[in-house]
Structures are given as structure tokens and as C-alpha cells.
Amino acid sequence: MIANQKGGTGKTTSALNLGSQLAEAGSRVLLVDLDPQSSLTLATAGDCSGSSMAEVLGGAQAGTLTLSKIIKRIGTRLDLAPADIVMSSNEAGLIGRYAREFILQKALAPVNNNYDVCLIDCSPSLSILFVNALAASHGVIAPTLPAALDLRGLRLFVESFEDTKAALNPELELIGVLVCQFDSRLNLHNAALTDLKASGLPIFKTTISRGVKVSSSVGTGRAAQGKQSEQYNQLSKEVIKWLKKQK
């Protein structure tokens, strides 16, 4: 999963571009949009029409559709499970369900063998959907911006990560912190990166420079072009190395 409790850190951008790079490298990839704002869905499918994760997860009552019924092909070896704003109103109902933390895990189980990688794009909040993603995942990528406020948000996320891991998913691993919108010419960015490296958290060697925009890929499901494309390509190689260790 790709997650952080703070918004604007590059989660959706990273889900889209990393997923595209992994697909181009030969992996079968499923992108799961678990954010009611549906940014990933809009960036790849172009709209939020049709069935979505709202019908799969349900609310107070179980969902009416299986995951396979809503999946859209958005590229070669690249599929999307779209989101819809209805998920926001359904969240309160999920809290009252039995085994509420494992609803997503149960929904994903029938399609697990169809994919090599599943990337879950989460909303920036500690919601029941967020906890479901943590419970269903093997690893977490945490994008952050190189700024003091963002690093504070990252620390809060790591605390939530550790709590959920202890309570629900002991095998969950923080794959790495991904620094986005990095500008090596700025002292503040370099200082933030130094602080991160001293924190003891796993940090990706790859940093994503300024200029990545999801809008550049709207409707294509393809990775950004140019310098950022190469950076996400390098990130995909780091992720592939981690995936091979899990097998």
C-alpha cells in the first residue's frame, strides 16, 4: 500500500507511476483506489462512473459485488479497482460490521493469484478504510515531502503503522519512505533528507524531484515522462528487489 496520514505528499502520483513502471517491467499490477476522493480513478480512468469499491466493501451491510466485477483494464498488465465518493458515506457503516478490519483483505483474496503486485492508494486519514488497507497489505510505501510539517506527519503515520502491525498484521513491513518533490538546490530539503536518514526509518535511495503531476497521465494509465519517469523506474527496481525477498 501507499500511505501517509498527511495529504499532498505524492501518494496518488506514486501509486500511478510506480504501478505503470512495474507493469512495463512485466508484472501484473492491480491499482486499488481506496480514497473516496477518487484521485487515482480520475487520473487513470478519466471518470468515476460505473461500479466501484463502494459496491465491493459495502457499508453497514456487505457489498453487493465481487472485486472482479468492478476491475477496469487501464493499460498493458495494469488494472484498476476504482473508487467513488459514496465510499465516504459508507465508512460509518463499516465500523459496525463483524471483523471490520479485514473486509478489504477478504475482498482481495479471490483475485490475488491474478496479479503479481497490488498497490492500494489510501486517503490521508486514520479511517476504517485506512486500517483495512494496513491489515490487507504485506508492505507499505510512505511518500513524504522534505519539510518539517510533513516529517511530523510521517512520524504520526509510523506510530499508527506500528500500532496496527502489532494488533492486526504482524507481518506488515515498512518498505521505505519515499521523498517526493525533492529539490537538491534547497538547503531545507537537504536538511530534511539528512534528518530522515538519521531517523532509523528505511529510506528509498530514489528521490522524486519536483514536477511530477498526475494530470500528465490522466486517461492514459501510463507513467510520467522525462526525468521523473526515470526516477520512478529506479524506484520500481528497489520495490522489485523487496518483492523478490518476500518469495
Q: Could you state, in order of their start, the residue ranges of all structural domains in the chain?
A: 11-246
Specify the amino acid at residue 131. V
Close Cβ partners of 118 (under 8 Å, ≥ 6 residues apart): 29, 30, 32, 108, 112
pLDDT at site 241: 95
**Could you give the CA distance from residue 26 to residue 166 in angstroms, rounded to a whole number?**
34
Close Cβ partners of 56 (under 8 Å, ≥ 6 residues apart): 63, 65, 66, 67, 69, 70, 81, 107
pTM of whole model > 0.85? yes
User: CA geometry: angle at 169 spanning 151 and 31, to 5°?
Assistant: 70
pLDDT at site 48: 74
**Could you give the CA distance from residue 41 to residue 99 in angstroms, rounded to a whole number?**
27
Please give the CATH superfamily to which domain 11-246 belongs. Answer: P-loop containing nucleotide triphosphate hydrolases (3.40.50.300)
pLDDT along the chain (247 residues), means of 10: 89 96 97 95 84 95 96 96 92 93 97 97 89 95 91 88 93 96 93 91 94 47 73 97 88
pLDDT at site 214: 39
Q: Pairing state of beta strands 29-34 and 117-122?
A: parallel
Nearest alpha-carbon partner for 30 in 61, 57, 53: 53
